[in-house]
Amino acid sequence: MDTPQWTNGPVLSGRGLTKHYGSQYALAGIDIDIMAGDAVAIVGPSGSGKTSLLHVLAGILRADAGTIHLAGQRIDHLGEKKRSELRRTEFGFVFQSGMLVAELSAEENVALPSLLAGLGRKESIEAGRQWLARLGLTGKEKRRPGELSGGEAQRVAIARALTHRPKVIFADEPTGALDTRTGRDTMDALLGAAQETGAAVLVVTHDRELAESMPKTVAIRDGLIATRLAA
């Protein structure tokens, strides 16, 4: 198995990734490379293994076999503590329904990763405000998630995912709970902001239209990559 070189290789790379639940294979030996600044859609029918692939690449789940490298460094063998730190510092996450902390305001939700990383209250909140402004949420900083629309909440989640300038953003059905137009706007916001920071974006989606709008698409079926398409 060859080791990717970061200088000119992929920012995130998986080789021979295997994951099974009981006798059922979710991933059956997948190889995948994500380049810096890439925006990749992972599509496939329910149960095909796309969310498992995202979780394995992000270190939320541990693969049964295979290796993962982030910027040339192998990360799949790290312990939970190190992987948590990696997720906190190198990755950003956007989930289907935002998964914002209901008790915190929009700016506090965005500031949360910085605060957890040990940054001061003032700097974290200020950075949060700036991200909210960049995503068009000026004036909504003090609102709680329950007081935001679905699209606004997702943009807060995007701001939260970007605030610590991650190398890779993982988005699991980020538009699943939104109408078509809001979903498109949200994806535009995500991809635009990621482009600004140079982060790669890996999106798991059922939405064919969304997938087609992405520069690259990887289709998964039965735990294996069925097709790779590049725009």
Partner 1 sequence: MNSLQLALRVLKIDRRTRTSAILTAVGVAVATGLVLLLATLPYATVNREARALWQGENYYSRNSEAPASLMFATTHDYFDGKQLTRVDVALTGGAAASTIKLPPGVPQLPGPGETIVSPALGRLLQANSPAQLGDRFGKPVGALGEDALRYPEQLIALVGHNADAMPETAYPISGFPSGQARPDGLLMLLSWVGIIVLLVPSLVLVASSARLTAARRERRLAAIRLAGATPGQVTNMVAAETTLSAGIGALLGLALSPALFGLATFVPWAGGTWLASDFALPVGLTVFIVLAIPVLVILAGVLGLRRVLKNPLFATGGHTKKPLHWWRLLALPAAGLFFLVAVLTAKDSGGITMVMAGLFLLVGSAAIVGPWVTSAVGGTFVRAWRRPSALLAGRRLRDDPKGAYRASAGIVLAVFAGSMALTLLPTFESMAGGGRSFQDPVLYVDTDAKHAPNLVSQANEALARYGQSEHAVGVGQVYLTKSENGGKYAVRALVMTCADAAKLTRFGFDGLCSGAPGIYAGQPLDPAEYRIAGEYDQAGLPLPPNTPVHVAAYHDSDLSSSLVIDPSIVPAGIVPQRVTVVAPTTDANREIVRTALAGPAAGEEIGSRDQYLFNQQTELGDLRRVTVIGLIAAGILAGCSAAVATAGSVMDRRKTFGALMAAGTPVRVLARALRMEAALPALVATIGAGIVGVLVGVGLFSMVDDRNMGIMLSPWILAPVVLGVGVALLGASVCTPALKRVQAEPLADE
Residue numbers at the binding site for partner 1 (CB under 8 A) = 51, 55, 58, 60, 81, 84-89, 91-93, 95-96, 99-104, 108, 112-113, 115-116, 121, 146, 161, 172
Closer CB to partner 1, residue 74 or residue 121? 121
Determine the Cα–Cα distance for residues 74 and 13; give it in Å rounded to an integer: 9
Residue 90 vs 216, nearer CB to partner 1: 90
Q: For partner 1, which is the closer residue by CB, 65 or 117?
A: 117
* Beta carbon of residue 92, minimum distance to partner 1 (angstroms, whole number): 8
Least separation in angstroms between residue 129's CB and partner 1 is 16
Q: Measured at the alpha carbon of residue 136, what is the angle toward residues 132 and 137, in degrees to the nearest 5? A: 55
Q: To the nearest whole angstrom, how small is the minimum distance from the Cβ of residue 89 to partner 1? A: 7
Specify the residue, 96 or 213, whose C-beta has the smaller distance to partner 1.
96
Nearest approach, Cβ of residue 54 and partner 1 (Å): 10
Find, among 184, 161, 195, the residue nearest to 58 by Cα: 161
CA angle, 152 as apex, 158 and 92 as ends, to 5°? 10
Nearer to partner 1, 176 or 215 (CB): 176
Q: Among residues 34 and 161, whose Cβ is nearest to partner 1? A: 161
Distance of alpha carbon 153 from alpha carbon 102, whole angstroms: 11
What is the smallest separation between the CB atom of 95 and partner 1, expressed in angstroms?
A: 5
Residue 137 tokens, joined? 């949420």
Helix (H) or strand (E) holding 129: helix 121-134
What is the nearest approach in angstroms of partner 1 to the Cβ of residue 69? 18
